[in-house]
Structure 1
Amino acid sequence: MAILRRQFAAALAVTGLGVGLAGCAVSQDRAGSTPVGVADSLYWNGPILTMNDAQPQVEAVAVRAGRIVAAGTRADVARWQGSTTQVVDLQGRTLIPGFVDPHSHLGGVGLQAIAANLLPPPDGPNTGIAQLQETLRRYINTSPDVRELQVAFGFGYDDSQLSERRHPTRDELDAVSTTLPIVAIHQSGHFAALNSKALERAGITAQTPDPQGGVIRRRAGSREPDGVLEENAYFGALQHLMPRLTVEQSVGWLEKSQALYLQFGYTTVQDGRADPGGVDTAIAAAKMGKLKVDVVSYPDILTMGEGRFMQGPYYSRNYQQHFRIGGVKLTLDGSPQGKTAWLTQPYLQPPAGQPASYAGYGVMSNAQATAQIEKAFANNWQILVHANGDAAIDQMIQGVQAARARYDSAGTLQDRRPVLIHGQTLRRDQVDKIKALGIFPSLFPMHTYYWGDWHRSSVLGDPRAQNISPTGWVLAQGMRFTTHHDAPVVLPSSIRVLDATVNRTTRSGQVLGPEHRVSPWIALQAMTLWPAWQHFEAEHKGSIEVGKLADLVVLSGNPLTVPHAQLIDLKVLQTIKEGVVVYQAP
């Protein structure tokens, strides 16, 4: 043991590890005992949280060839130290497994990366429509992407946070430009405001009917579009407005997106509801060796044609050059903060022009939804279902019940692991139903911060607002869950996900649904081990255990010991993918 202490003391004396933390130390001394093998790297001298309930914390970790080969006491792990081993002194910082993204849109973050930042505080400066206009003008005048693409995208405005409490209109965007198409995308990703030039390019006029599952908002007393498009009206218009990109441009967008995830410690990223172009781009990036994270894609079941992606080599439980297709995605309704989620009871304050009975709307009929879910079950595809409103959740439950009855053998619940995405207004009685059906909940507690006050005052009112993303009810039923950010709806900030899942504090400082707060340990499991399980990857990821991939994150502090109110102040200092540092904080 005296030799071991001298080795670690020697490690402290050497500084400047090029691939490690700033100020970390490297030891080139060989262990005194006969090593069981030579590790590439060894981490010690900081809290190491494994996310493994059987061994929650260890003193040191050894990594070789991208995998964890030892996790335990310093003495045990030191046996892996050799002359080439880099011994990383954490200096009191915390090592945890890499974050596994349970739901977001990698391709959408690429668009966000090149768009004008229309987000409100704390992620952007925009609190009113005049500021939105100025942000867009400045972006148009300075962005090389606008000159190259000949269309101006802005992302992230939020009518609930604008002083006017409404969406910008085509006239207000025309005041920015009448010659360049402008597409201002709502923070939810379910709306957009277009100027007249963009409406013209999308072919939307007074004669254009509303599509199924979408609304073209009109000027008062007229059929003339006011510029705001909801749901499928927006998604359809975007197909006409997105420029055709070269493979190099598309991959470049994806690399910008990936860099943002790495900054927040994500080592596995989901691309939910990927369109065919997005899947092709990810495959191209993989072949070019551009992916530093693992990307698991879930193509939109409605837009993948005959399912060519589900028949090719990338539909697999194994990654090829950091990419695979994990299943399919189905969307059943819209956004609660945008008041297009499909509820069983009316909104507290309906949108302008809607009756008091307005409760949002679904994207498709019950029969259509069931047919798509049955299609996934028939092919043994894992299906992720976007359902925010409790009426949409009922529709998913009905579809899974029908699919189970048709494709599961009597008395056997085959583990296809269907996932409820968002589940914002999941009712207590629905928790029992999804448990019985084997539906896994991926919830969205970040709403408590970004839109919690809005849900209470305008969208749902109490008690419904108190129970959004009801993690407490799920845990009470003995179920696991995951917690996500849904980027680009918000930035893929792992720290804000953690904070919101533990604290459920709104912008105004109120606690929304105190019974649904969870411990930091549970919140971290819901961001690491449990999403790995959601993706059928828990044998290889999500915890610091021997044999698993060395996907790791170094945090500035220990989430288990800092005061809960200070979780939001934690920083990701380093992201490590399979033993290689892929992000280093400045």
Structure 2
Amino acid sequence: MSPDTIVLARTVHTLDATTDATTAGATAVAVADGLITAVGTAADARRWRGPGTELIDLGDAVLVPGLVDGHSHPALGLELTTGTDLSAVRDLDGLRAALASAERLDGWVLAWNLDHNAFGDRPVHRSAVEDVLGPDTPAFIRLYDGHSALATGPALRAAGVTGPRTFAQRATVVCDPDGTPTGHLIEHAAMDLVTAVMPSLPLDQRRDALHALLLRMAGGGLAGAHVMDAGGDILDLVRAIEDTRHLPLRLRIAPWCMPGTDADGLRELAALQAESGRNWLVGGVKLFVDGTVEGGSAWLEHPDCHGEGTAALWLDPAEYTDVVRQLDAYGVRTATHAIGDAGVRHVLDTVAALPGRGRGRHRIEHIETLGDEQARRFAELGVPASMQPTHSAYTRADHTDAWSTRLGTERADRAWICRTLRDTGATLALGSDWPIAHHDPRGVLAYARLRRHAGTDTTPVNPLQALTPLMALEGYTTHAARAAGESDRTGRIAPGLRADLTAFALDPLTADPDAFAGTAVPLTMSNGVVTNRGGS
């Protein structure tokens, strides 16, 4: 049978150790029924081609396995990015000006991506902004970490929040000494009090918005994503897209399991693993063992400078361990958010106690600060690390930022230890955590090598943790596949594997990273379907 599609390029980096000897100098890839059927040269392609074969000649472009974002929130991110983008705000004057001119949605001011550093030495408090919004305007402002927000008085009143609350997880409605809420809400359970009464868009509009977002992601070279979304109606959204069109990215969705989930809830999560569509599936469960450094909710071996960061998100960490044990018994893969060094250690201890050490089913997300001793355990236990290099852009090399100030110099010096983990033999999947950072993989690949944003003169953050070009590319391909247990299906260009392909005008293994961040993406293919042709 002749292939559906043949892709020609100047260079094909297969990243396939088993066939590299036979595919050295490869310039052609054949695809049929969503699978790669052959890898060879242009001369081979002439023999493969049939009367119905589409030939895509990319000229001097370089073809690599389809890039997969190892940690993304495309559906949840649509909710998190509703309203005014505050990423350019640097201080309180800028925040107040942005909110004063912000558009309203059903009378609310919604905003997102606010850097904690904008408050300087002041606490996050609604009094800093309420006078520019007026006494009757509810506002909900998400901070960039995604784990905290600022709600104004009218928003708190709409949600019936008049004082502190008790939660099944370690979350906080921050209050003044007299018990009046400051508006600072830390962790999801606290934020959910207000988001439950906020305006939202109907499903059909969110379906179309999700499809448009995934097309933009494909335009940057993404063929797939490991989706760490909260559940809700994400499955309804992807089903609705596939009712009428192709899902632009292969989505591997991991619904959340939060503290308080009982045995019935765990059985439901296990049953969800059977759900799938043409270009998506439910594959794993997302857990949280802690929160964020800036919010004081990361679980640290030693308190931060405010005396915070001493506890897990789970009121009893042993319950987290038991939940992972039960999910492991069901054969369910897990991905655990662990930012602080104590949180990472606890997850590693949990995996070490599993029968067969979980057989590589359990991974850790973020890992923002960690010492060498715990870093070595990833390879020893077969635990994949999933990291987002561009998150370190919220810090400064001189440690004057909020994240570094909380941790102190010693812990800030071991921030985002990507190279240490790779050098110890660990699997390292890379991603963006969109919308916490931009989803464009070109920027992440460049940042992983530079430890700063491409095209800037910012001082690199911990430059000794920079990855080689090959390590960075593997983080989006072979190592992303390993982290998902999909090495036998994707992550390389080889016959029999899923036809996920990405083409760049510049070679990611040899191009200057500052230049590569802006290179063209002439082709993206996901599951055998071209999802981007001549993208940005």
Q: TM-score, normalised by structure 1?
A: 0.81
Whether contact under 8 Å (2:413, 2:462) holds in the other structure is yes
- 2:467 corresponds to 1:509: no
Matched, 1:563 2:512: yes
> Residue type matched to 2:349 in 1?
Q
d(CA) in 2 for partners of 1:242, 1:82: 56
Report how far residue 436 of structure 1 moved. Answer: 3.1
> Over aligned residues, Cα RMSD in angstroms?
2.9
Q: In structure 1, which of residues 174, 189, 192 is the aligned counterpart of residue 149 of structure 2?
A: 192
Equivalent positions of 1:11-410 (< 5 A) are 37-54=1-18, 55=20, 58-120=26-88, 126-140=89-103, 146-147=105-106, 150-160=107-117, 167=124, 169-170=126-127, 172-173=129-130, 175-206=132-163, 208=165, 212-219=169-176, 221-243=177-199, 246-287=202-243, 289=245, 291-302=247-258, 306-307=265-266, 309-310=268-269, 312=271, 315-316=273-274, 319-347=276-304, 350=305, 354=306, 357-364=307-314, 365-402=316-353, 404=354, 408=355
What corresponds to 1:450 in structure 2?
A: 394
Distance in 1 (CA, whole Å) between partners of 2:267 and 2:48 is 46
Deviation, 1:360, is: 5.0
Task: Name the residue aligned to 1:123.
Answer: none
Assess, with a 3 A threshold, how the Cα gap between structure 1 residues 91 and 497 changes in structure 2: closer, same or farther. Answer: same
Give 3-state SS (helix, strand or coil) of 2:460's partner.
Answer: coil
Residues 164 and 181 in structure 2, CA contact (< 8 A), matched pair in contact too: no
Query: Partners in 1 of 2:372 and 2:439 — Cα distance?
Result: 29
> What is the CA–CA distance in structure 1 between the aligned matches of 2:124 and 2:403, rounded to whole Å?
20
Change (3 A) 1:50 1:167: farther
Please say if residues 99 and 527 of structure 1, whose CA atoms lie closer than 8 Å, have aligned partners that are also in contact: yes
Q: Distance in 2 between matches of 1:510 and 1:338?
A: 25
| Cα-to-partner distance string for 1:474-509 (whole Å, 9 max, x where unaligned) | 222222211121111112121121112222237763
Structure 2 counterpart of 1:383, one-letter code: T
Bigger Cα Rg:
1
Q: Please report how far the alpha carbon of residue 132 of structure 1 lies from its aligned counterpart in structure 2 after TM superposition.
A: 3.1
Deviates more, 1:242-251 or 1:477-486: 242-251
In 1, distance between residues paired with 2:330 and 2:198? 32
Q: For 1:327 and 1:184, how far apart are their aligned partners in 2? A: 30
The answer to whether the Cα contact below 8 Å between 1:51 and 1:521 also exists between their aligned partners in 2 is no
1:309 offset after TM fit, Å? 4.7
Q: Quote how far apart the aligned CAs of 1:383 are.
A: 0.9
Q: Aligned residue for 1:477?
A: 424
Alpha-carbon deviation of 1:449? 2.6
CA distance in 2, matches of 1:186, 1:526: 27
Give the letter aligned to residue 401 of structure 1: A
1:10 alignment counterpart: none
Equivalent AA in structure 1 for residue 32 of structure 2: R
Deviates more, 1:496-505 or 1:283-292: 283-292
- Kept in 2, the 8 Å contact 1:170–1:194? The answer is no
| Cα drift, residue 563 of structure 1 | 2.0
Give the 3 Å change call, closer, same or farther, for CA 459–257 of structure 1 in structure 2: farther
**CA 1:118–1:544 in structure 2 vs 1: closer, same or farther (change >3 Å)?**
same
* SS of aligned partner of 1:92: coil
Q: Which residue matches 2:374? A: 430
Deviations along 1:19-50, whole A, 9 cap, x unmatched? xxxxxxxxxxxxxxxxxx53333222422222
Q: Distance in 2 between matches of 1:528 and 1:455?
A: 33
The code of the aligned residue for 1:300 comes to: W
Give unpaired runs (5+ residues) of structure 2: none
**Aligned partners of 1:113, 1:228: CA distance in 2, in Å?**
18
Letter in 2 for 1:567: F
Query: What do residues 447-468 of structure 1 show as CA deviations (whole Å, max 9, x unaligned)?
Result: 2333244378524343422322
Contact 2:3 2:53 in 1 (8 A): yes
Distance 1:103 1:520, change over 3 A: same
* Inter-partner Cα distance in structure 2 for 1:97 and 1:262: 13
In 1, Cα distance between equivalents of 2:296 and 2:197: 25
Unaligned 5+ runs, structure 1? 1-36, 121-125
Give yes or no for contact 1:424–1:444 (8 Å, CA) kept in 2. Answer: no
1:238 shift after superposition: 4.2
Q: C-alpha separation between the residues in 1 aligned to 2:123 and 2:521?
A: 35
Which letter maps to 1:446?
T
For residues 172 and 455 of structure 1, the distance between their equivalents in structure 2, rounded to whole angstroms, comes to: 20
Q: 1:535 and 2:484 equivalent?
A: yes
Question: What's the CA shift for 1:386?
Answer: 0.6
The separation in 1 between residues aligned to 2:167 and 2:276, in whole angstroms, is: 41
| Displacement of 1:416 | 4.8
Task: Tell me the distance in 2 between the aligned counterparts of 1:339 and 1:45.
Answer: 49
| SS of match in other structure, 2:436 | coil
1:446: Cα distance to partner? Answer: 1.7
Displacement of 1:330: 1.0
- Kindly provide the CA deviation profile for residues 375-401 of structure 1, in whole angstroms up to 9, marking residues without a partner as x: 212222111111000111122123223
C-alpha displacement of 1:209: 5.4
Once residues 470 and 330 of structure 1 are traced to their aligned partners in structure 2, the CA distance between those partners, rounded to angstroms, is 22
Equivalent AA in structure 1 for residue 46 of structure 2: A
TM-score (norm 2): 0.88
Structure 2 counterpart of 1:552, from 482, 486, 501: 501
1:520 deviates by: 0.9
Distance 1:274 1:575, change over 3 A: same
